[in-house]
Chain A
Amino acid sequence: MSARVLIVGATSAIAEAVARRYAAQGAALFLAARRTDRAAVIADDLRVRGAAAVTVAAYDATVRDTADALVAAAWEALGGIDVALIAHGSLPDQPACAASAVLTRQELEVNALSVIDLLTPLANRMASARHGTLAVIGSVAGDRGRQSNYVYGAAKGCLAVFMQGLAHRLTPVGVRVLTIKPGFVDTPMTAAFPKGPLWASPQTVARDIQRAIERGAQVLYTPWFWRWIMLVIRLIPTSIFQRTRL
């Protein structure tokens, strides 16, 4: 049977690249996005590329108490979910967050709490079905707090620990839990940054994500070298770390 895939934040570049890989395999997809007009454009493309069925639904991560309804709608439309990829997020303006507790809270809500709102009902449904993969796009930024983007890092770090706990809880019942930690990815979210050799394309990241889902990995650094870069960054002693501007 072809895969049944829920993608939240479906207009993100990484999410779209993952969706194409599943579409080419004949999957049925449920796309949730704030911009449903753009998700519909993506849906047309996925149908041409071979998706068995594509459904588009509106979802705004800044509106509370909508996650349960979204998960229920996707579960019903797809007749169960094999893979759920949660890919929405924003890249906070760190200096602006440093000056505003309100903005900091908003960013934490979008990047961490709204994701957890989805994870809880998805985890419970998958636990009952004793089947499925929960995949969340975290970030290498969640591995160590750094002055340049610790609000984003705190949200992604929160997700990483939450997912670690979910994995501990759900692995015994046959549900897989994957935290994806991309490094620098050339997407609209990062359009303003100068690019160098550490930057990867969304297609490369999507290929890694699909492979990690297939092999049942719990944590994916993509591209692979970020595992070692982040290991070094985590191991730098605090006394030295304090003197860097990372």
Chain B
Amino acid sequence: MDAQTSFPSWGRYPPATPARVLPVRFRDQAVPRVAGSVLPYGNGRSYGDSCLNNGGTLLATRGLDRFLAFDPSTGLIRCEAGVLLSEILSLTVGYGWFLPVTPGTRLITVGGAIANDVHGKNHHLAGTFGHQVTCLELVRGSGERMRCSATERADLFAATIGGLGLTGLITWAEFRLKRIANPYVQVERTRFDRLDDFFDLALGAEREREYTVAWIDCLATGRHLGRGIYMAGTHAAPTCEGAPGAPGRTLSVPFDPPVSLIAGPTLKTFNELFYRKQFRRVQTGLEHYAPFFYPLDGIDQWNRIYGPKGFLQYQSVVPMALGRDVTREMLQCIARSGQGSFLSVLKVFGDRPPAGLLSFPRPGVTLALDFPFKGPSTLRLFETLDALVTQAGGAIYPAKDARMSPALFASGYPRLDEFRRHLDPAFSSSFWRRVTGDAP
């Protein structure tokens, strides 16, 4: 591991330069008083500019990486905000405890998981990461230090969950882990040939499965529109035969390619292969949790494959009533634009009310896409998608956004004014200034 020398976002777009980066190493430290604003920066896995503070100060929180307590008999864990989900798994899986909710990477901090109220493949049953948090400590720019939970300062607690690091510095949090018998997942992959089949799967008996998500071939058109592979998983039973080993070495993208490696032909080939590699319609097997939950964590700095201009993510959610039609229209737009996406993911969220005032997950269909940044043509495509999302009364995920308009943000987050009351005046981010027009 090398010393950290730069603080970009994961999509590496937009570029931003903080005036200074101050490491936080002990939780008794107060928020430093500096000219301009401060913003907590964890492991830099937010894609757009929600973890950036151009011209301001970043509080680098990875030094807050200690456990306060872990009870292997109850699964209750309390740790500092800079602890990575991967570090929790390393500690707890051996005791038979797993993260109650995990996104598609384990290389994020607990503080980041709360500030973005991340979700995973079990949203339909478990809700978001914020739903799992029992309490946390917040240090405000004023120096005030407070415990927040559903019963203590509940308003501030709800603002901090999904609060994008703008309500103060989270120093530690407590949450309950989930019991597992072993590190394996029983996986079933089902190929589907069109979008309607996805919805039939997702809304049918599949809702009972613990983890569900679909990969979509977003280059497919016509009667193949929306074809893909539906993945369902459950933690394996105590006795399971043929358990595979943990994955070996991490691969790495060791340098910055001069151009994006994700271009038309490679993408077309990849998508075709990904779809075709599964011969049988339904394929089942036992997998270690790492490749099932974190396929890309096996490739260090995979974001480099998009070249120096970086890439953009687009993740939207639209209400279920319009979900089928809007998703179809979005996929048609993308296929027409020829700007395919390498990783296109579709999931139906559960009905649980959001944990935070600015939480992204809500009942409906969510579509996540990534695109190499090609300048105006990419932004034009996104504006077309924005129009569809807006019409449907949907929203865009701040953790993945680098360009949504203030109007779209406001329409997607109706509790914005309520949230504003809990903002810490010392805190701000590039994202926040962009979508609200607030001063730095």
Closest partner residue, chain A, to B27 (CB atom): A41
Contact at A44–B69, with CB atoms within 8 Å?
yes
With A41-B26, A191-B23: A204-B1 Cβ-Cβ less than 8 Å: yes
Closest partner residue, chain B, to A191 (CB atom): B23
Count of A-B contacts judged by CB separation below 8 Å: 51
Mind listing 13 A-B residue pairs with CB under 8 Å? A13-B25, A38-B28, A41-B27, A44-B69, A48-B68, A195-B3, A195-B4, A195-B5, A199-B2, A200-B2, A201-B3, A201-B4, A204-B1
Most interface-central of B25, B27, B28 (chain A CB within 10 A): B25
Interface residues of A in 101-128 (CB under 8 A from B): none
Q: Mark B25-39, 1 if CB is under 8 A from A, else 0.
A: 111100000000000
Return B135 CB to nearest CB of chain A, in Å: 17
Contact at B2–A45, with CB atoms within 8 Å?
no
Return B177 CB to nearest CB of chain A, in Å: 13
> B residues touching A (Cβ–Cβ < 8 Å)?
1-5, 22-23, 25-28, 63, 66-70, 91
> A residues touching B (Cβ–Cβ < 8 Å)?
11, 13, 37-38, 41-42, 44-45, 48-49, 184-186, 188, 191, 195-197, 199-201, 203-204
A145 to B142, CA, bound (A): 45
Closest partner residue, chain A, to B1 (CB atom): A201
With A37-B28, A38-B28, A191-B23: A199-B67 Cβ-Cβ less than 8 Å: no
Q: Tell me which residues across on chain B come within 8 A of A41, comparing CB atoms.
A: 26-28, 66
Contact at B5–A45, with CB atoms within 8 Å?
no
Q: Tell me which residues across on chain B come within 8 A of A191, comparing CB atoms.
A: 22-23
A195 to B25, CA, bound (A): 18
Contact at B23–A48, with CB atoms within 8 Å?
no
Q: Tell me which residues across on chain A come within 8 A of B4, comparing CB atoms.
A: 186, 195, 201
Return A113 CB to nearest CB of chain B, in Å: 27
A49 to B77, CA, bound (A): 12
Contact at A45–B66, with CB atoms within 8 Å?
yes
Contact at B2–A44, with CB atoms within 8 Å?
no
Contact at B70–A48, with CB atoms within 8 Å?
yes
Closest partner residue, chain B, to A11 (CB atom): B26
The 7 closest A-B pairs by CB, nearest first: A186-B3, A45-B66, A199-B3, A48-B67, A195-B5, A201-B1, A48-B70
Closest partner residue, chain A, to B4 (CB atom): A186
